[in-house]
Structure 1
Amino acid sequence: MKKHDQDFMKRQNRLTVFEIIKNQRPISRASIAKQTGMSATTVSRIVGELTEEGYIQESEQVSAGLGRKSTLLGLVDGSVLSIGIELDRHAISVGIVDLQGNIVCSEVYSRLSEDSSTDTLERLGSIVLEMLERNAIKRNRVVGIGVGLPGIVNIEKGIVVFSVQLGWKNVRLSERLKELTGFEVAVDNELKVKALAEHLKGAAIGSNRTALIGFGNGVGSALIIEGGIYRGEMNSAGEIGHTTIDPNGMLCECGKPGCLQTYINISSLLSEANKIRPIHTIEELFDAYRVKEPWAVHLIDRALMYMSITVNNVVCMYNPDSVILSGELVDKFPEICSEVKELCSTRLVWEPLRESFSFHRSELNERGVVIGSGLLAQTRFFVLE
């Protein structure tokens, strides 16, 4: 066998052993050898290298039967870190994420909706560098940055093609943020990275086909099939918020009339509420709903109906085994989930499909995009040499 083939096999074997330990920890050397078909000597050599390099550690010995004991292996979670970022209309969330998707530290910063992409990225660069310094994290432990945001993203080039919520078009985010921080940068749609996080660490563990639906400042969805994100031709699969409900309906901020999200998203609800009396926050609207002010009941009940219609449309199109509700509205007002579930189970999901999927609320809540973005960066940039 040629030397480059031997080197390739060694790298692949290292990666295989590392991934098994990462996903099945704690695990013994013997179990790894049995799964991979590698010799015990090869497994022990690789484990020794990874231990010396600081990626894995041994735990206490446990009985393996007949008096024998096996030493179990696990990861040193902090050996590899990434930075996960969520960019939203009014907020910037930044966290440092370890190999298991745990957030080591995080901060949330306000953002003005009129801030330009230039201003936002320059501020973001400063936030990232200050966070590393404040938490005494060495740069060489960080493999890269992941960013999740609403809109259509060219993931290969790291360009925000179009984001209605941010007001951005053709923004070269990855290139600029790398200039500001020195780190490699991956960027993706926020719901796609959140769905990935739920699949790996949250409500969708064990699911083969997960549909995540987000209700908040916008409306969107994402689909995970067999562990991978379904993207479509332009990475825009799931932009259900801009499907047309009524061509003569309210004007959406995208410029098109009658989009689905105009009946559900926070800004539309507040705009409608202010036709009755001054309402400054979505919390005020729900306060009015809970005391059964008729106009507030009408607005929220209508939104709940359209949320349920959204679930039906996603279920009919993709036939998922798991549906997860997420987003600011669901996070702030958990009763939404039970109300939508009730509507779906009784009348608004097509009857043959009502029992075909399990219904969940996001387990990661507001942390989901930061975790998913951090894991995206690790997947893209972390390579065992």
Structure 2
Amino acid sequence: MQKHDQDYIKKKNKATVFQLIKSSSPISRASIAKKTGMSPTTVGRIVAELYEQGFVKETEEQVTTGLGRKATMLELDRTSVLTAGVELDKSKFRIGMVDFDGRIISLREVNREVSETAEQTLNRIGLELQSMIEQEGMDPGKIIGLGIGMPGIVDEQSGEVILSAQLGWRNVRVAETLKTITGYEVAVDNELKVKALAEYCYGAAKGSKRTALIGFGTGVGSALIINGEIYRGETNSAGEIGHTIVDPNGVMCECGKIGCLQTYIAESSLITESNKIKPISTLNELFEERRKGQFWAANILDRAITFIGITIANVICLYNPDTVIVSGDLVEKYDEVRSFFENDQLQQYVWEPLRDTYQVVYSALGSEGVVIGSSLLAQEKFLSIEC
């Protein structure tokens, strides 16, 4: 038992030093000892191990201590470890290679046919990843894993997609299949959860204690970060607000239920509704019709904006966040929707006691958020800094 406790303390101390160097570099050994309360000898041993593993390097920068000595600074070797991040959506997937600092060093986007099977899509992801590694001349030995963010209900422990209505997938062993295809360890999670994680680490949620991220795209969903941790619920389904019923007499959702929230907001629903009046294929065309003064287009979009406001207000009531991040083309790309936030029209939907308790911001990472978040997921899951 004593040996077990000692090993645990060593691993915990090493993780603490590693995270401190990662977040505060350049930093000296003396500063690490002061901030952590560890002895200089313990810090020196841990730093030596991290240096030997290639995670840490000494910089040329030096500072003078109070005793007149020069203290060599330490920083993370940002390129010592790479993780691949994948965003998988209905009509495309994106692959990025990401370094220790959350920076994308290579990125590519590939169109996906809606009719593709899960096996076909996963094989294509494997081929594109291999092509990226070869074309960019990357060292495969530095790649510790692959993370993938996708819509739907995901068992993040096993890497199985329980249900993705947008993709039409059910009970697909994504992690197991991709590991067989690529040879890398694979972590899988809901796209908005990994995007929220990325925003907390590197984007609009830095410093926030309770963040709600809401995505308006091919579907509607949300994710909650509390003190840096993803709130998952019992089955990792927390935040699936797109499938809350707002009109029991409404239209059929792709999930099989009637009157789901996302049938009034999701891109495909807006296009389907528009095609009852005029053939269009994109949101751009729908907004253009509105700008031409077409009443039917204005009616569809104004109703969608109303439901966007209701969605955000309901999330604020449910979670009482200090920060609400709105993301997705619908809310970020079009001035007609942006003005809804910038002119403070949201307030009319928010319960009065909760007004002025939160800030609404746009995603700082934009279209790269899911790729970065997926890579972070893999980094946290597969990076070993054990003694």
Q: TM-score, normalising length from structure 2?
A: 0.95
Structure-2 residue corresponding to 1:84: 85
Work out the CA distance in 2 between the residues paired with 1:206 and 1:139.
34
Moved more, 27-36 or 371-380: 27-36
Describe the shift of the 1:334–1:128 C-alpha distance in structure 2 as closer, same or farther (beyond 3 A): farther
Structure-2 residue corresponding to 1:172: 173
The two structures, once aligned, show a CA RMSD in angstroms of 1.7
- CA deviation map 1:89-113 (0-9, x unaligned): 0011000111111111010000011
Structure-1 residue corresponding to 2:236: 235
**Unpaired stretches in structure 2, ≥5 consecutive residues:** none
For the Cα contact (< 8 Å) 2:325–2:361, is it kept in 1? yes
Task: Report deviation, 1:53.
Answer: 2.9
Q: How many residues align?
A: 385
Structure-1 residue corresponding to 2:219: 218
Amino acid at match of 2:206: I
Moved more, 54-63 or 1-10: 1-10
**Unpaired stretches in structure 1, ≥5 consecutive residues:** none
Describe the shift of the 1:199–1:226 C-alpha distance in structure 2 as closer, same or farther (beyond 3 A): same
Structure-1 residue corresponding to 2:143: 142
SS at match of 1:94: strand
1:36 aligns with 2:28: no
SS at match of 2:79: helix
Amino acid at match of 1:42: T
Structure-1 residue corresponding to 2:156: 155
For the Cα contact (< 8 Å) 2:332–2:338, is it kept in 1? no
- CA deviation map 1:37-59 (0-9, x unaligned): 22222222322332233211223
1:282 aligns with 2:275: no
Q: TM-score, normalising length from structure 1?
A: 0.95
Amino acid at match of 1:143: I
Work out the CA distance in 2 between the residues paired with 1:303 and 1:4.
57
Structure-1 residue corresponding to 2:379: 378
For the Cα contact (< 8 Å) 1:197–1:371, is it kept in 2? yes
Describe the shift of the 1:347–1:5 C-alpha distance in structure 2 as closer, same or farther (beyond 3 A): closer
Amino acid at match of 2:375: G
Task: Report deviation, 1:351.
Answer: 1.4
Task: Report deviation, 1:67.
Answer: 4.8
Amino acid at match of 1:236: S
Task: Report deviation, 1:72.
Answer: 2.2
Work out the CA distance in 2 between the residues paired with 1:6 and 1:157.
30
* Identical aligned residues as a percent: 55
Describe the shift of the 1:13–1:346 C-alpha distance in structure 2 as closer, same or farther (beyond 3 A): closer
Describe the shift of the 1:12–1:51 C-alpha distance in structure 2 as closer, same or farther (beyond 3 A): same
1:369 aligns with 2:357: no
Task: Report deviation, 1:19.
Answer: 1.1
Task: Report deviation, 1:64.
Answer: 4.3
SS at match of 1:77: coil
Describe the shift of the 1:341–1:224 C-alpha distance in structure 2 as closer, same or farther (beyond 3 A): farther
Work out the CA distance in 2 between the residues paired with 1:13 and 1:255.
50
**Superposition misfits of 4+ residues, deviation over 6 angstroms:** none
For the Cα contact (< 8 Å) 1:304–1:340, is it kept in 2? no
Describe the shift of the 1:317–1:69 C-alpha distance in structure 2 as closer, same or farther (beyond 3 A): same
Work out the CA distance in 1 between the residues paired with 2:186 and 2:98.
14
Structure-1 residue corresponding to 2:314: 313
SS at match of 2:197: helix
Work out the CA distance in 1 between the residues paired with 2:383 and 2:377.
10
For the Cα contact (< 8 Å) 2:309–2:346, is it kept in 1? no
Work out the CA distance in 2 between the residues paired with 1:284 and 1:374.
34
For the Cα contact (< 8 Å) 1:311–1:344, is it kept in 2? no
For the Cα contact (< 8 Å) 1:305–1:343, is it kept in 2? no
Amino acid at match of 2:177: R
SS at match of 1:380: helix
Amino acid at match of 2:83: S
Matches within 5 A, 1:13-28: 13-28=13-28
For the Cα contact (< 8 Å) 1:149–1:188, is it kept in 2? yes
Work out the CA distance in 2 between the residues paired with 1:351 and 1:6.
53
Task: Report deviation, 1:5.
Answer: 5.0
Amino acid at match of 1:83: A
